[in-house]
A and B are shown apart, each in its own frame.
Chain A
Amino acid sequence: MVEEAVKSADLVKTYRGKENVEALKGINISIKKGELFTLLGPNGAGKTTFLRIISTQLFPTSGRAHVLGYDVVTQPNEVRKRIAVVPQDVATYANFTPWEYSYYFTMLRGVSKPDAKTAAEGALKAVELWDLRDRTCATLSGGEKKRAIIAAALASNVDVFMLDEPTSGLDAVARRNVWAVLREMVEQGKTILLTTHIMEEAEMVSDRLAIVHKGNVVAEGTPEEIKRLAKDRFRVVIEGNLKSLGLSENNDNITKFGSKSIVYVKDENEAIELVGKSLKKGLKAETAPVTLEDVFVKLVGGEVD
């Protein structure tokens, strides 16, 4: 029995043109059934290319990829029966209603009319759009439109969902609504492959994640495991002049933003000591464990050993 929902081996994608672009440089990823796996990376890292290959929209240049044991190149129809995709920057037909999206897209999966109606109703209730089901997308907010598309995918009741930056452009409240929907899907045993460049999103919703940078996976694990990759485990945010603390702003462990600086230190004791020292000098200071964003910035900048 296949344990992985998605598995790629040495997946390479080169876009041919005047200048060849190596979008993926041998990606090896394994996503277990029933987990929410996030591809986290800056724009142009290769996240969408990976998702489009896995979802049978794009051929790889070399390497292999399987979804639930089916080869995405040689068995695309088997893969397509088992996946649903929400593309990046997806827009909506102004004249469509959320109901029409969910109903018609479910029908296209070979489902009977009554079953499609039941599935569409369930999906729209899950994303809290049931009351707005008959309003045209032209009259919905950005978050509601996104949820309408997610509902269309959700209604398919497939095993693997692939969502390419589903919360980009949404406000905080709408984003959290989408997160709740995604986690609910995972609770129901679905596998989700999510791409995002929003650190908080990756940290909050992922069971595991991979940081992708320039077509390579530079780190993979749970959010906590990724954060442990940093040699400096705590951050101290200090407002004011660091010179009074005897710290040089050119230090690799210090990032400065105007009057505020983030100083990265090895452990909690060192952090508390620095906060105390800062307060004595009349500076504002607070400490916290490093965030995923801290680690991400260091990883893509090549500063983690």
Chain B
Amino acid sequence: MNFKILRDILIITGLKSMPDLKRQPLMLLLVGLISSLPLFFIVVLGGNIGLGLIGAMVSATSFIGMSAPIQEIAFDRYVKIREMIVAMPVHPLSYAIGVALAPLILSVPSLVFFGALALYVGGLSITSVFPAIAAIIFCWASVSSIGFLISTYLQKASPYTLNSMSNILGILLGFIPPVYYAEEVLGSFSWIAMIFPTSNATSLIRVYSGTLSLPFEIVAIRWTILVATMIASAIITASKARWREP
């Protein structure tokens, strides 16, 4: 990866995030609120708040990770920014990563807030911070790759359809699998947690926090699945996505 590609990633990230951050700071609050909504029920119903906070961290990242590429690319097509950038000396990788990274900036304050709270109540331990960051980054990358994959296959769909779809998928990935609740609840179906990057990341964070006990091989398999999901989606997207139209 040369310097121009890296520089362009940062420029596109700035281009796609700074104007919104400056003029729509409420978006930061919105991301946090959506992710913290289940916490209300967890607190009221007497659930595990530590687990809920980990879920909120994962959800804040995955929700934005799924919606970012779909919404942004659909919108970029609508306002023709994508056309302008295709005709510029910009590598497609810079555009894709920049578009995915930009909304992540929006979820950073929520992540820090939920993370600090989780450390305080015991959901996270000091030693689990780095594995947690790694799991969240891989989760974000996997979910973003899935988002790119979807947008690649639905190039003819309207921005409105893609917008709705990204929100639905974001909610499904964030709230249906065991993200806010323990995978043990699923009993013999707890393996389902491995399938979804969101619940997989949550369980891995719990392993390092000491609230979930899994054999080393299973932990290794779960990391592999998390990374493999990202790589597979990225490869399919790269092979199917067309920077220049045929």
Interface residues of A (CB under 8 A from B): 52, 55-59, 76-77, 80-81, 83-93, 95-97, 100, 104-105, 107-110, 136, 152-153, 156, 162
Within 8 A of A (CB), among B60-101: 78-81, 83-90
Q: With A85-B83, A108-B85 given, is the CB distance from A91 to B78 under 8 Å? A: yes
Query: Is the pair B87, A56 in contact by a Cβ cutoff of 8 Å?
Result: yes
Q: What residues on B are CB-neighbors of A97 within 8 Å? A: 19
Q: What residues on A are CB-neighbors of B80 within 8 Å? A: 87-91
Query: Is the pair A76, B14 in contact by a Cβ cutoff of 8 Å?
Result: no
Considering only CB atoms, which chain A residue lies closest to B23 in the complex?
Answer: A95
Query: Is the pair A100, B87 in contact by a Cβ cutoff of 8 Å?
Result: no
| Cα A76 to Cα B23 with chains together (Å) | 36
Query: Would you call the interface of chain B mostly helix, strand, loop, or mixed?
Result: helix
| Cα A108 to Cα B84 with chains together (Å) | 11
Query: Is the pair B84, A85 in contact by a Cβ cutoff of 8 Å?
Result: yes
Which 6 A-B pairs rank lowest in CB-CB distance, beginning with the nearest? A87-B80, A85-B87, A91-B79, A90-B80, A87-B83, A104-B15
Query: Is the pair B15, A110 in contact by a Cβ cutoff of 8 Å?
Result: no
Q: What residues on A are CB-neighbors of B81 within 8 Å? A: 93
Closest approach, in angstroms, between the C-beta of A41 and any C-beta of chain B? 20
Query: Is the pair A83, B11 in contact by a Cβ cutoff of 8 Å?
Result: no
Q: What residues on B are CB-neighbors of A87 within 8 Å? A: 80, 83-84
Q: What residues on A are CB-neighbors of B14 within 8 Å? A: 104
Closest approach, in angstroms, between the C-beta of B152 and any C-beta of chain A? 17
Partner of A110, one of B23, B24, B89: B89
Query: Is the pair A96, B89 in contact by a Cβ cutoff of 8 Å?
Result: no
Closest approach, in angstroms, between the C-beta of B1 and any C-beta of chain A? 15
Query: Is the pair B79, A80 in contact by a Cβ cutoff of 8 Å?
Result: no
| Cα A260 to Cα B245 with chains together (Å) | 47
Query: Is the pair B11, A107 in contact by a Cβ cutoff of 8 Å?
Result: yes
Q: What residues on B are CB-neighbors of A104 within 8 Å? A: 11, 14-15
Q: What residues on B are CB-neighbors of A153 within 8 Å? A: 84
Is B246 in the interface zone, CB < 8 Å from A? Answer: yes
